[in-house]
Amino acid sequence: MSVLQPVSKPFIGISVLFSAICWYFAFSLSGNFGYLLWVAPIPVLYCSLFLKKKWAFLIAFASYLLGRLSWLPYLLSVLPVPLAILFTVLLPLIFALIVIAARKIILRFSHWSVVFAFPVLFTSFEYISFLFSKDGTAGSIAYTQCNYLPVIQIASIAGIEAITFLVTFVPSAIVLIYFNYIRQRSVKPLLFITIGIVCITMVFGAWRLRDHVTGKESAVRIGMATIDEKAHHSTYTTNTEKQLHLADLYLHEVSVLARQGAQVILMPEKIFRCNEAERSGFLQRFKDTALAYHVYIIACVDQKKNDYYENRAWVISDEGRLVADYQKVHLFEGEVLDSVRPGKQMGLFNRGGSEEGVAICKDMDFQQYILGYGKSERRILYVPAWDFVRDGWLHSRMAIIRSVEGGYSMARNARQGRLTINDYRGKVLFEANSDEGAPVRLLATVAPQHYKTVYSVLGDWFGMLNVVAAVAWMIALMMNRK
């Protein structure tokens, strides 16, 4: 089994178990154990350097598979069984191949730069998957770090890929430092590089998190509400009666929040459904309410057109005018099967001189698309959403990372999920929980802010850089065969 020196079977077993447990909790949808991701790969990476390729592949695959099982109950609740199993098995397979490739690079070359092999290959895989996946960035390991504000600030420079790179670089560096130490090779370059990268990242994160003085004149009072989820499943004499009742329930929430001082009222996704003939009547009810209470209303509805649907967010001004009629651009598979058609344009509007925007739920999984809101210098993004109960924390934090990348504040209201308001640094200022479908209200005063980020200007430069580096490693391997 060994390549360099024997590694005992008990040690291998403990290593697999340790890595699996760390990954299992790190990938938890609660977000409470993201710190374990920093150490999870260490035993597996270390063992791979002392084992033959097939055994290195096996332990990497087995440990990652066991770790990914923490997602299986959630996947089974939102996907058909075959797809849930495929997703659960495919990621460990790719991970094992990455470990094998990194192992070959490390053992083939003695240069200190091999410490970047594992993070470069893993980051390249994620970046490429982001470009082609129907779920965008949803599977990224970077989202496990959303509770650690100094860490995620690096996304403002290089996007979510920088977080992935960092959490895979550190375990790779620890393994290489110890590996070189026991082989009596110099570890100073690796120590300097590791300490330098980690310190620079953390210092930058701390600097960006420093308090900024913002004028009170730019503050806005935002109200959000979800009604009892059971109301959406109640039986009515006609469908029109049901939709009118749902609309009235949400309009009642508008009146309550407006009386409490709300200036902008954000509703969750798909609050009711209407057809083309009914649209004007429903829309007028919301216009009249916005004018009566002098508030902005953002209402997300399902609109039927002939043989298909559109998921739309109406942005109605405090003067009762429709200032934006946004159509959801990125759909999840269930919506595609339900004959929902995607839109093509961003939802941009001006509220009293403040450049603002609206996007809907799944849109936030796609950094390339949402990057446009950062480029257009939106001060705040409003996001109606509908989560899947179990993933309320995860989906809210996925959206929040887009705030860090684009440099704007965000308000997100989700049915069966989280209601959150965060600043441009991803700091959650206010939060409420509607996971179980209970009625919830959130009312808070925030100051919409936009700070131009490197990422909003240069885009995915770091992801592309990793792909170039990965290709260079592969070419080097082919040219240096033994």
Q: Residue 197 CB: number of other CB atoms within 10 A?
A: 18
Cα–Cα distance for residue pair 265/290, rounded to 1 Å: 9
Single-letter code of the amino acid located at 109? F
Q: Residue 19 CB: number of other CB atoms within 10 A?
A: 28
Kindly state the tokens that stand for 55: 């055994």
Band of pLDDT at residue 234, cut at 50, 70 and 90? confident
Top-ranked range on mean pLDDT: pick from 231-240, 334-343, 395-404? 395-404
Q: Which CATH superfamily is domain 216-448 in?
A: Carbon-nitrogen hydrolase (3.60.110.10)
Task: Answer yes or no: is pLDDT of 50 > 90.
Answer: yes
- The confidence score (pLDDT) of residue 69 equals 96
Contact call for residues 377 and 420 (beta carbons, < 8 A): no
What dihedral do alpha carbons 273, 300, 394, 139 form, nearest 10°? 80
Q: Is 78 left (phi over 0), alpha (psi -120 to 50) or beta?
A: alpha
pLDDT tens-digit readout, 140-196: 999 999 999 999 999 999 999 999 999 999 999 999 999 999 988 989 999 999 999
Band of pLDDT at residue 256, cut at 50, 70 and 90? very high
Domain boundaries, the chain: 9-210+460-479, 216-448
Cα–Cα distance for residue pair 265/299, rounded to 1 Å: 8
- The confidence score (pLDDT) of residue 3 equals 44
Give Cα 150 distance to the centre of its chain: 17
Q: Which of 218, 229, 224 is nearest to 257 (CA)?
A: 224
Query: What is the arithmetic mean of pLDDT over 107-123?
Result: 95
- The confidence score (pLDDT) of residue 1 equals 38
Band of pLDDT at residue 398, cut at 50, 70 and 90? very high
